[in-house]
Structure 1
Amino acid sequence: MDPFPQAALDEIARSVGAAAVEALAELPSTSRYTKERADAIAATLPYVIVAQRQTAGRGRGDNAWHATDGALTFTAVFDQASLLIPLQRWPQASLMTAVAVAEALETLVPDESIFVKWPNDIYCRGRKLCGILLERTDSPRPMLHLGIGVNVNNSLAAAPQEVQDRAISLVEMSHQDFFLPDVLLAILQRMQANFALCERSLVPLADAWRSRCLLWGRKVEIQSGEQTIAGICGGIDDSGALLVDSPAGVRRILAGVVTRF
């Protein structure tokens, strides 16, 4: 059975106003695919590409994304004309998307609480459920590539032990399979709604990401540029910055990688 029937893809495109929603059997990385074809897809934005199997997915930096059959891996591409939020707030799109994914997945597993690990990971039961990678290209014009990988119907039983210890999938939580196009549509609809909310300000989403902040109250270590900042996380402020109470005082971190929590 085709996991992404063309009729389902067409309905998703119609529902979210995408110019194209496509699925391929296998790709090394959906974000690599869109970046390498930026010139070609620039005329069909918003554009969404789904890979039934992703063989070389990655997260931030050099991190690999372990994805087996049954995972939902896709990249959504926007430009300034197709994305409601202004260019200067594009860096916060990963946090807006993280909230959208958490909200969408909670409709599928309503008995679970789903959290955001600033700025771009989704956790449930203390384990990683989804990763988000935001990248930008500037030719032929500024384009935002939002790569999303969700553990949906993929069992992690055969994954390396370290992956089993820190990751979880929807099927393992609910003991039922999901129709992947339904999951994709739910996420894209929430992304669309959250981008619309943040057209003029990030404040409308601030309560949502504060209430879902996985790191709140924890000892954290953040690599921000050349700096390593350690302290107690005080949550996420209205601008999307992570607040860390360090020995030098409260630090506002707008971009960085959480290396310990």
Structure 2
Amino acid sequence: MRVETVKQTASTNADMKALAGQGSAGEGFWLRAERQSGGVGRLGRKWESPEGNLYCSTIVDIRAGDPAPSSLSFLAGLAVYDAIRSFLPDADMVLKWPNDILVSRAKICGILLERVKDQVVVGIGVNIAVAPEVADRAVTSLADQGASVDAAGFLACLSQAFEALVKIWRERGVAYILSEWQKLAHPVGSMISTSDERGEKITGEFAGLTAEGALCLRKTDGTLIEIHAGDISIG
């Protein structure tokens, strides 16, 4: 593993995509910025990037025989969960589909995957020192929860967890990763809500994941549907 830290950039994911496109970045390389001026989260949302938090990106090479690259979203969530757990061993934590981690029912991180040819750029942002406000969403940070660690120290732990999980992902496949994810996620039967492509609210019970990681939702009328993208709320 190799970590390069820059004082400021627009986006570590954008930088890493450029390096990947040039063929000058490979698996095991991590880019961290102390600040970002143009961080982006899922669905094109702006990712606030005050100094003190973790903003980083890494690359996974897609090799012949590898599991589906989209499953790296769950792998990344597990890696962040494991790293947070090492600093907050007793915290109330849950993984939230597709790739959120909630601590004390509040969002603490963001994960964004982007494909460049035969590589996947995995961007990870974790609230270490500060919890920037997010509209209509509770947020927290490691500092808020009582952890004593800085961004560089957290990344040292995260990168090790990520590397170990990538090895397991290749050896044991998607089914194992999804099984481990579900053990730490909102339990089957939890009431969740989301919106369809027309923006209409859908509510039902979490009924597990498909073999590819889509969310299964059992509507109040008993109909079982699959959700492949979007946000959910629990409860």
TM norm structure 2: 0.86
1:245 counterpart residue number: 218
Gaps of 5+ in 1: 1-12, 14-19
Tell me what 2:70 maps to.
91
* 2:10 corresponds to: 28
CA distance in 1 between counterparts of 2:72 and 2:200 reads 23
One-letter identity of the residue aligned with 1:100: A
Q: State whether structure 2 residue 165 is matched by structure 1 residue 194.
A: yes
Cα distance in 2 for residues equivalent to 1:149 and 1:85 = 29
Percent sequence identity over aligned pairs:
24
- Pair 1:256 & 2:229 matched: yes
Q: SS of the residue aligned with 2:129?
A: coil
1:55 is aligned to 37
How far off is 1:34 after superposition? 1.2
Does residue 1:144 correspond to 2:116, yes or no? no
Amino acid in the other structure paired with 2:175: V
Number of matched pairs = 231
Q: CA offset at residue 79 of structure 1?
A: 1.6
**Deviations for 1:104-136, whole angstroms, at most 9, x for unmatched residues?**
110111110321111111111111011100110
Of residues 221, 235, 240 in structure 1, which corresponds to 2:194? 221
Question: Contact conserved, 1:210 with 1:237, CA < 8 A, in 2?
Answer: no
1-structure distance, mates of 2:6, 2:23: 15
Q: Do the aligned partners of 1:222 and 1:228 also contact (CA within 8 Å) in 2?
A: yes
Q: How much has 1:219 moved relative to structure 2?
A: 2.6
Query: Is 1:233 the counterpart of 2:206 in the alignment?
Result: yes
1:13-162 paired onto structure 2 within 5 Å:
13=1, 20-42=2-24, 44-81=26-63, 86=66, 88-138=67-117, 142-154=118-130, 156=131, 159-160=132-133, 162=135
User: Aligned partner of 1:214: which letter?
Assistant: H
SS at match of 2:180: helix
- Following the alignment from structure 2 to structure 1, what is the Cα–Cα distance between the partners of residues 54 and 78? 17
> Does the 8 A contact of 1:52 with 1:72 survive in 2?
yes
Contact 1:213 1:235 (C-alpha < 8 Å) held by counterparts: no
Paired residues of 1:25 and 1:53 also in contact (CA < 8 A): yes
Deviation digits for residues 38-97 of structure 1, max 9, x if unmatched?
23353544321000011221111121212211101100012225xx971x5110101111
Paired residues of 1:24 and 1:51 also in contact (CA < 8 A): yes
For 2:177, the equivalent position in structure 1 comes to: 205
- TM-align CA RMSD: 2.7
Name the CA shift for 1:221/1:161 in 2 (closer, same or farther; >3 Å).
Answer: closer
1:225 is displaced (CA, Å) by 10
- Mark the CA change 1:104 to 1:237 in structure 2 (over 3 Å): closer, same or farther: farther
Question: Partner of 2:89: helix, strand, or coil?
Answer: coil
How many Å separate the matches in 2 of 1:25 and 1:186?
A: 21
The SS at the match of 1:192 is: helix
Name the CA shift for 1:219/1:208 in 2 (closer, same or farther; >3 Å): same
AA aligned opposite 2:89? P
CA–CA distance in 1 between the matches of 2:19 and 2:114? 14
Query: Would the aligned equivalents of 1:47 and 1:78 in 2 still touch at CA under 8 Å?
Result: no
TM-score (norm 1): 0.78
Partners of 2:54 and 2:93 in 1: how far apart?
17
Query: Which of 169, 172, 184 in structure 1 is aligned with 2:141?
Result: 169
